[in-house]
Amino acid sequence: MPPSLAPHLHALAFKLALSSSPYSASFLITLYARSWSPTAARHLFDEIPVPSQDPVCYSSTIVGLAQNGKYEESLSVFAGMRSNAVDSTMYALSGALRAAAGLAALEQTCGIHAHAVVAGLDGNVAVGTALVDAYGKAGVVDDAVKVFEGLGGDRNLITWNAVLSAYAQQGDVQAAVGLFDQMIELGFSPDGLTFLAVLTACSNAGAASEAEFWLEAMQSKHNMKPGLEHYTCVVGAMTRVGRLEDAESVACTMPCKPDAAVWRTLLMGCVVHRKVDMAESMGQRLLAINPKDDSTYVMLANVYSAAGKKDEEAASWTAMRDCGVRKEGGRSWIEVRGQVHVFVANERRHRQLLEIYDKLNELIQEVEKLGYKEVDEGLWNHSERLALAYGLISGAVPSGKVLRIVKNLRICAHCHEFFKYASMVVNRVIVVRDVNRYHTIKKGACSCRDYW
């Protein structure tokens, strides 16, 4: 049924006084969610009388909101379901876990896991797979593997792909390959997502030769045609180790048309390896696809700045302004006692604002004692630093435990360096999941090896 019919069917149901009945409302909520109208789905759910909000209504809403990226709302509805003592279903639990995975919210994941055990649904393969994914996206691979192993013979290809993806995000090529071999031995046939996980691991680790091997094996041994996303991983692995010309050759000769992600990967490599001429070429390709791409202007300005080309750097910022392009606002969040706290640069709304800034200023003074030099005071109050400061003052993350922060954009190079020093000051492991990858920062070193 076409999703565009949702408003018309809703109007008809309203005329027939059926729009708030559990059966028809659940159907309409699902239809709205599939038509990318999560707000309408939530409003419809809220219109259902509380006594009529049954497990199906809750499940439809939780899943629909999670599918549309409304993670916090999805978890809020799930919390309401539990407080109203409505029975959980595998769909509600899987949807809530999808939302927790989207936020990389480890505490929420653990809480939902505990509830699944109580509800007797932790052995359900759909719930188990969602748990594997949620733990993996929170960066806790060991827990993802425990759930994966606990499913035993109920594991399906989706479950295998989920645990492979958990290793892939960490760039653990050896573990990913070992798991792939085990999967084949047990008679599972890999699909495109399986190879994407292995190739992602190669890309994150900078294992260019291995990436080339797996791309070839995908075609010759498993008779599968690689897609654009598979080639993008190979390009990423090559750029990470400085094989920029080889990466460009792959991009220009692969059978599918390169998209913005391919050229952006190459441009990022040019920034890291300070290849100004190639960066300009990649930037032109990106802007030809989308003249409003803010990240392109920013990366070009950064590569000019690193090369000492101040005039070109200024021209890049000017071109960005003249085209009416604004840099996307950075947001970072940290989970404390099951609640997600979101920060923006120069945050002014948090109820513990003064304590947060006092802690951040204290951190800045301490890292400077270790030799860190801030190039611009405007960087002091970036969102990820505020999230870190709040995590330290909240007391919810005990001393010695890992601090976990999520960011909607790429962590800037200055904050990345700051966090390396901060990990020594506070003697803690700091995990930052930005838009590109996980950064596990410990004793002044990062798992990304300063390339991300």
Taking the mean position of all CA atoms in its chain, how far away is CA 204?
14
Query: Considering the entire predicted model, what is its pTM?
Result: 0.85
Residue 165 Cα distances to 38, 134, 158, 208, 240, angstroms = 27, 11, 10, 18, 19
Report the relative pairing of strands 339-344 and 331-336 from DSSP bridges: antiparallel
Packing angle of the helix pair 141-150, 125-137 (nearest 10 deg): 170
The phi, psi pair for 391, rounded to 5°, reads -60, -35
Residues forming a β-bridge with 405? 432
Ranges of the chain whose pLDDT falls below 70: 1-4, 8, 13, 15-20, 396-400
Residue 396: predicted pLDDT: 65
- Name the 3-class secondary structure at 142: helix
Phi/psi class of residue 69: alpha, beta or left (left: φ > 0; alpha: ψ in -120 to 50)?
A: left
Condensed to tens digits (0 to 9), the pLDDT of residues 302-315 reads 899 888 899 999 99
Condensed to tens digits (0 to 9), the pLDDT of residues 72-82 reads 999 999 999 99
Residue 330: predicted pLDDT: 87
- Name the 3-class secondary structure at 80: helix
Nearest to 63 by CA among 40, 28, 43, 93: 93
Encoded tokens for 378: 């405007």
Condensed to tens digits (0 to 9), the pLDDT of residues 344-403 reads 988 888 989 999 999 999 999 999 999 998 877 778 899 999 999 999 998 766 666 889
Residue 78: predicted pLDDT: 97
Residue spans of the domains in the chain: they are 1-155, 331-446
Residue 398: predicted pLDDT: 64
Residue 315: predicted pLDDT: 94
Residue 145: predicted pLDDT: 97
Which ranges constitute the DSSP H helices of 85-137?
Answer: 90-103, 106-119, 125-137
Residue 373: predicted pLDDT: 87
Encoded tokens for 316: 């890049």
Residue 329: predicted pLDDT: 83
Residue 19: predicted pLDDT: 65
Residue 16: predicted pLDDT: 65
Provide the edge-to-edge strand list for the sheet that holds 438-442. Answer: 339-344, 331-336, 403-407, 430-433, 438-442, 445-446
Burial letters for 180-217: b for 16+ Cβ neighbours within 10 Å, e otherwise? Answer: beebeeeebebeeebbbbbbbbbbbbbbbebbbebbee
Q: CA 433, CA 452: separation in Å to the nearest integer?
A: 11
On whether the CB atoms of residues 316 and 280 are closer than 8 A, the answer is: no
Q: CA 261, CA 246: separation in Å to the nearest integer?
A: 17
> Is 224 exposed, middle or buried, given 0-12, 13-18 or 19+ CB atoms closer than 10 A?
middle
The CATH architecture assigned to 1-155 reads Alpha Horseshoe (1.25)
Q: CA 342, CA 332: separation in Å to the nearest integer?
A: 6
